[in-house]
Structure 1
Amino acid sequence: MHLSYSLQADDFLHYQLYAASHSPVVRRSRLRSWIIITLAFVSLAYIFYQEHVTSLMVYFALLAVASAALYPLYSRWRYKRHYRKHIETNYQGQIGATVVLELTDSLLRSVDKASRNELQLRELYQIVETSQAFLLRYNPAGAVIVPKNQVDVAALASELHRLANLNGIEYVDDQSWQWK
């Protein structure tokens, strides 16, 4: 099967956020930050409660409640902004470039203006289908991104299912995934 498409910044962002949301390190880091900030405000509220400074106690108690409720939204925004900047800095030459992808029973070839790559399909450990793209993951930090809006989704999904079964690759249907 031959495919030709171009990757946009949003395609790279989609992959980066998907990989981050499935990374135990990133998950722990986000959770740890959330807990530390909330506990810091709770601790300050408690200290001012012990010192009978009611106004500061109420202030920090409200900050603790606000951070407990709103920190996940802030963290989501911060990570998205970080990855946008990372993509602008590191993927400039690849944004908008045409990628030609060839899939055979045992080989994946991709050609773009910067490189030619060949990958044995058995080196893929996972094929992920999200609502926006197919991600052919060959290690936790690397993947071939195929945006759904530029290919025949039904034909490609069928071919990827066949290749996953043929080569013993895990196929993950994660179309309900959203960045949280």
Structure 2
Amino acid sequence: MEFEYELTEKDYINFNIFHFGNSKAVKRSLLVQRIIGPLFFIVFGYLYYQIETVSLPLLILVIIALSAVWIILYPMRFKGYITRNTKRMIEEGNNALILGKHHVTMNKNGFTDKTSRSQTSLQWKNAVSFQEDKDNLYLYHSPSYAYIIPKDKVGNVEEVKKFIQTNLPASI
């Protein structure tokens, strides 16, 4: 099976958002960061209460409101952070290895991705995982790197998915 597609900046940004959103380490870090904000508000509120004569119920209400806003909005801020940093990384250098035209060949032996500057191959037995979101298929060849296959740029997505899943080891 062979197909070609153009990998865009948007596709690469979507991969990074997907990857960081599904990484156990990043999820744990995000949880800790979501907790640190409200803890800061509580400590600051307590110190402020000790120094100033302020209504305790009002202070508690303000802390709860700030904490709720922090907990709700922080993931959106984190997604924006990933998007900005990915764009900066793309702007820093030559991205012909990632972005641009990709020619993919899949057969019983593995997956080969050819660009204007490189050719990489992956034997099915060495694949780490296969995942997807609404826009892309991701064939991971290491815990943090994947071949990105945009669904809207591949002819028959179900056929490609089935071919990959059929050839991957049963442990994936």
**Structure 2 gap ranges (5+):** none
- Structure 1 partner of 2:137: 134
Instruction: Please show how residues 158-173 of structure 1 align to structure 2 within 5 Å.
Output: 158-164=162-168, 167-168=169-170, 170=172
Distance change (3 Å), C-alpha of 1:32 and 1:6: same
- Structure 2 partner of 1:28: 28
The answer as to whether partners of 1:19 and 1:140 remain within 8 angstroms in 2 is no
Measured in 2, the distance between the counterparts of 1:163 and 1:111 equals 20
Aligned-CA RMSD value: 2.5
Instruction: Please show how residues 45-124 of structure 1 align to structure 2 within 5 Å.
Output: 45-54=45-54, 58=59, 61=63, 62-90=65-93, 92-94=95-97, 97-124=100-127
- Structure 2 partner of 1:175: none
The answer as to whether partners of 1:125 and 1:169 remain within 8 angstroms in 2 is no
1:114-133 deviation line (CA, Å, top 9, x unaligned): 10112211110211122111
Measured in 1, the distance between the counterparts of 2:28 and 2:53 equals 35
TM-score scaled by length of structure 1: 0.80
The alignment partner of 1:110 has SS state of strand
> How far off is 1:102 after superposition?
0.5
Residue 157 of structure 1, aligned match among 158, 161, 169: 161
Measured in 1, the distance between the counterparts of 2:112 and 2:100 equals 16
Measured in 1, the distance between the counterparts of 2:149 and 2:68 equals 42
TM-score scaled by length of structure 2: 0.83
Distance change (3 Å), C-alpha of 1:43 and 1:128: same
> How far off is 1:95 after superposition?
6.2
Aligned residues: 168
> How far off is 1:51 after superposition?
2.8
The alignment partner of 1:54 has SS state of coil
> How far off is 1:72 after superposition?
2.7
Measured in 1, the distance between the counterparts of 2:124 and 2:91 equals 30
1:137-161 deviation line (CA, Å, top 9, x unaligned): 1111111111111112122122123
